[in-house]
Structure 1
Amino acid sequence: MQIRSIGETIGAEVIGLDLKQTLGAETIETLRDLLTRHIALVFRHQILTPAEYAKAVEIFGEPMHSQYAAEFAIDGSPLVTIVSNQHWDKSGNRVKHGQIWHSDQTHRKNPPNYTSLYGVTIPGVGGDTGILNTRDGYESLPEEMKSRLDKMIIHNLASSGRARLADSTKNFILAPDEIAKPGRSHPLIRQHPEAGTKAIYFHALKIDYIDGMSPEETREFIMGLLDEIVNPKFVYRHKWLKNDLLIWDNRSALHQAFFDYDLSQERLLQRIIIKGTPPFGPAMPYQEDVANAQEPNGE
């Protein structure tokens, strides 16, 4: 097994490993450490069925059901969902999954530690997945700004389906019929339980408001924060090849899909999320009783 850095501050490729094979405990521990350190790992040339894909990523934790499992899960593999540019909403508009920086399923008490994607059908050019290192992005900010962020708590919406980008000015439209759906509150700055590092943590389409700000002020603040940290040195853009497996640590990164390609060309990925624990940080310290408590739906 060889390791090759693929980004300035984020990302590594693992070479010479077949994830269909049974891996030893030492190798698994090494891969987990690499993922914590590099935030994102790439495994190329992995020829996997959906069941084999689900088994392969178990080395990083237990796969969990997606919020959208009922709509996009693969038959016979309920933990594997489809991410495709060939999905359409009821109005006939193309569904563009993940087109703004976010961490997955922040509305949950226990959002996923990791998200993984597997390349099935890839367009000829473009369609990258971007991974943003919010650990180094946070550390790059002035001390006064970091101190301010450390105190912030975000209140999340239950579904990003009720929020969408309205236009190029980055304004949001909210659907009133979903305003009452419950979400979760998390610290804006999340501390990594293994590394002890801090990182900026949110889903840009699920943010309702930050304590002390209106929803409108919150959105303006978040978009300004993104302008500060979305720097090429903090971003790894994965250029897909068929049979690539990409996995990243949601506790240290945001991600988005780039729609810079001919949308008549199919882009189809498979996706698995790995169970996590409640986010904690300076604004919401770790509480063991809260971390161990389980909600009625198992989240």
Structure 2
Amino acid sequence: MDEITDMREMAAAARCDRGPSSPYLEKLERYGFAVLEPDGPELMPLEDIMAPLGDPASYRFGTQLIQEQRADSDNSQFRTGAIPMHVDAHLNANGVSYIGWECLEAPYEGGETLIASSEAFFEAAPGGLVETLRDIKIEYWSRVSGFYVERPEGNPVVAPVQVDPVTGGDALCVGVDHPEDPSRNFGAAVVGYTKERSRELFAQLAHVLSRPDVMYTHKWRAGQVLMMDNRRVLHGRAEYPADSPRKLRRISVS
């Protein structure tokens, strides 16, 4: 079977049903994510879908999270603004291997989940950018106190190029800083770079990650499940109107 590195082709091939015989685990391993459609009379619960992948990660809120708009929250998960592309585990103390979302209520506009493939990124990125990424480390910070478990050892400092655990190739392990959002509760900076140089690098990253051959824009409908391998793809969110309900149930696996 030919290797697919264009995200537009991956997004089409990664779809399957949500029934008991769904091939979602094969799709997940091959593409780094899978979209389970709510077709057929019998739908697997999200807990059963995630069970073969390991034990649920435990946070301060338990092992399941309802992601929806909450008044006066300082957490970007409960606000309506865009969330830049990132991998989980930089901003809290839990290692996350897999994430599964079930759509309980889909917004009428916006709120798409964004998925970018590491394979597609390294296929599309300029050689100079890739070489720069191999030579740097990035520090991450978060202000979501009381929600995630704080890191007693301090802010994590992470190399942005890691090893893909399935292919053995390169995997992009990064969170893109978003300095134009003054109310953001997380951020990142390249170690040893000036603020301006760091922002320039993140802008280059965001540009490549937004290409249609690198990023899949998932428009939700109720009953869908979106799964991703946090070690092999990045994710983010498009903004959505305050009057557009968006409700997802999430389980993460360590």
Q: Same fold (TM over 0.5)?
A: yes
State yes or no: 1:242 paired with 2:222. yes
Give the aligned partner of residue 168 of structure 2: 196
Q: Paired residue for 1:129, among 101, 113, 124?
A: 113
Give the aligned partner of residue 190 of structure 2: 210
Q: In terms of Rg, which structure is larger?
A: 1
Distance in 2, matches of 1:133 and 1:79, equals 26
Q: Deviations over 1:18-38 (max 9, x none)?
A: 2xx4x6xxx7xx643421321
Distance in 1, matches of 2:30 and 2:138, equals 26
TM-score, normalised via structure 2 length: 0.77
Question: How far off its partner does 1:8 sit?
Answer: 1.6
Pair 1:266–1:89, CA change in 2 (3 A): same
Check the 8 A contact 1:191/1:199 in 2, yes or no.
yes
Name which structure has the greater RCO, CA cutoff 8 Å, separation 6+: 2
Give the aligned partner of residue 3 of structure 2: none
Distance in 2, matches of 1:53 and 1:10, equals 22
State yes or no: 1:140 paired with 2:124. yes
Give the aligned partner of residue 223 of structure 1: 203
AA in 2 matched with 1:244: Q
Distance in 2, matches of 1:211 and 1:7, equals 30
Give the aligned partner of residue 38 of structure 1: 31
Q: Which structure 2 segments of 5+ residues have no match?
A: 1-5, 178-185
TM-score, normalised via structure 1 length: 0.66
Question: How far off its partner does 1:108 sit?
Answer: 5.0
Distance in 2, matches of 1:130 and 1:43, equals 16
Question: How far off its partner does 1:245 sit?
Answer: 0.7
Distance in 1, matches of 2:165 and 2:92, equals 18
Question: How far off its partner does 1:272 sit?
Answer: 1.3
Give the aligned partner of residue 181 of structure 2: none
Q: Deviations over 1:242-293 (max 9, x none)?
A: 1111011222222111124x32121111111111xxxxxxxxxxxxxxxxxx
State yes or no: 1:103 paired with 2:87. yes
Q: Which structure 1 segments of 5+ residues have no match?
A: 1-5, 71-77, 163-177, 276-299
Check the 8 A contact 2:7/2:116 in 1, yes or no.
no
Q: Deviations over 1:98-146 (max 9, x none)?
A: 6221111214566311221110111223321111123211232233332
Check the 8 A contact 2:208/2:214 in 1, yes or no.
no
Count of aligned positions: 229
State yes or no: 1:14 paired with 2:7. no
State yes or no: 1:269 paired with 2:248. yes
AA in 1 matched with 2:172: I
Structure 2 counterpart SS, 1:139: helix
Pair 1:145–1:266, CA change in 2 (3 A): closer
Q: Deviations over 1:147-190 (max 9, x none)?
A: 22112222222x2549xxxxxxxxxxxxxxx9x98122221112
AA in 1 matched with 2:15: E
Report the identity percentage. 20
Check the 8 A contact 1:108/1:184 in 2, yes or no.
no
Distance in 2, matches of 1:102 and 1:140, equals 18
Q: Paired residue for 1:258, among 229, 233, 238?
A: 238
Structure 2 counterpart SS, 1:63: coil
